[in-house]
Structure 1
Amino acid sequence: MLTHTRPSIPAPTRGPDPLAELRAARAFLLRLADRGRPALDQLILDVGALAAAEQLTGGDIPEELRGHVTPARVQAAVAGAAGDGEAAARCGARLLIPEDAQWPAAAALTGTVGLWVRGHAGLEILCAPSITLTGSTAASGYGAHVAADFGGELAAAGRTVISGAGFGVAAAVHRGVLAAHGAAVAVLGCGVDRAYPAAHENLLERIAQSGLVVSALPPGTTPGRHRMHGCARVLAGLGEATVVVEAAARCAAMRVAAAARDLGLPVMGVPGPVTSAASVGAHQLIRQGATLVTSGSDVLAALSERERLAADTAEAWGLTPQEL
């Protein structure tokens, strides 16, 4: 059922694609992944992506998925995946999947079905040491200033800087990275072929010129509140640590911090004025154990200390740090 889509799903590299069949299967599965995610992840883990796609398109929908995946949704996903290649080609995007050599090695991305990517940077920047910076869309002047400083400093230190694409902190982070001529990665909560918010179309194009724009959602997907959890998971999973620059008590940045903690990744927070509602969330995270940082160098020092402690612990137990 997916045969006609196989040649049209763009691979990360040019030339014949030995993973064409698998790439088409994952493009289809991505169209089902925004709902019933844990059950779909488990099915893919149990039988593999290709077998999972064949099972679902053959009408054999596991009971634990039936509340989210209906035969009609499967047919819609097949039809949607058939057009994804053309939509991706129009914006220069390609589908990166876990079986690709360029897939980030981060264990936190386990379960991610695939990533649509566009931009002129080499995909190796997704595998390089990276930091996720997040914060409020309603950033104060202080928050925007600090976000740009952190982004520029980390980029100048050779780190890939990951952030969202919204107003406030994310926009300031990317502008700081671009000013430092660093590698910026913008994670979208919509299709990679869309500019959201629309006011950031030029900013996203600038990011794509020297970095990457990434989405775990199929081309053409519109933003939606129910998709925010998946976006937060990708944001957190791409970085080796998440830094919350400025956040109110309830904002999307707190979801990213929660995702990082769920994935076992370090969370750091930037303190702000105690009179500012925009810093309540960051202060809350610090009280809960997030590392307090005031500069990009603090972030790098905290990661170095974490790595040293892991190495010491591993040596004491006769293990490698990766085995801890």
Structure 2
Amino acid sequence: MTVRHSTDVVVVGGGQAGLAAGYHLRRQRLDFVILDADPTPGGSWQHMWDSLHLFSPAEHSSLPGRLMPAQTGETYPSTGHVVDYLADYEKRYDLPVQHSTSVDAVRRGAGRLLVEADSETWRARAVISATGTWSRPFLPALPGRSAFTGEQLHTVSYRSPADFTGQRVIVVGGGNSGAQIAADLALDGHVEVTWVTQRPPRFLPDDIDGRALFDVATARRRALDAGRSDTGGVASLGDIVAVPPVRAARDAGLLTAKPVFSRLTADGVQWPDGSHTGADTIIWCTGFRPALAHLAPLNLRGARGHIPTDGTRALGEPRLHLLGYGDWTGPASATLIGVGRPARNAVGEIAHLLRS
């Protein structure tokens, strides 16, 4: 039996973006619910690898209204500290998060958007989609991938070097996750690591952290909005933030990347020159795609798979806002500190729409 509810706004996703939206919805005194697939608070942070730390100090990694407290003995907070902060945030602002609730579809109904979640349907005047990307890992279609008989996993399944003791591991990916996981394994000393990148690694200057990256991303967005030339944003500086473990592994000569292999074989990889390297495990640190399958019934996707937006508002459906998916839905909106402003703007537009 389907249970039907009605509300002003349904927020899909209870991670950092969903909570930031909830904060501003509460301030606007709108009726809303946050539907989150995870059984416990913390969003994707509760699923990340053990050694991961933020790029920025706590005071520069906060959601609107509540500074993240510093973590004793740490300049850059651990993921566990972030999870505790998000759980406290949810409780502090009494946000109506319904956990263990997976949203299957958002459809147009009679004057409302219908949000179908498990055995419930919510009739909403507006929807904020804040599902992020963590649930949709991307794996490249490289030759021989199905022939490899060892273990293959994505960033989402990596936890610690202890799981690979004595193994030959190939880490694929030249972004932050690839560099950090390669460094994590290499510094352990009990894993034989080969790091593979599509192009030579580009490390950001050692003094650059999340604070500077947010400023750079914001400056780029302001330049584009003002019609000035594209500054290139964060990508103009490099691909990899040199957090302490990455710097340590790099300076010790443990982060020398090889170009991408030509194919996988049953027991390893073959390089363009015909040589072969054996491997027990391949870790694909090859990024993510926006988790937007629940929006498919609205038929909003453009040619490149993204839903065209004006800020956070979907061009084809003004009652829908997309929050926290990256710069295309707000500068630095996929970060803790960066999601606050687009969340405020999205909720402001929704409040105006519902009251006009």
Q: TM-score, normalised by structure 1?
A: 0.27
Q: In proportion to residue count, which structure has more helix? A: 1
Looking at CA atoms only, which structure, 1 or 2, has the larger radius of gyration?
Answer: 2
The structure, 1 or 2, with the larger RCO (C-alpha pairs under 8 Å, 6+ apart) is 2
Q: TM-score, normalised by structure 2?
A: 0.26
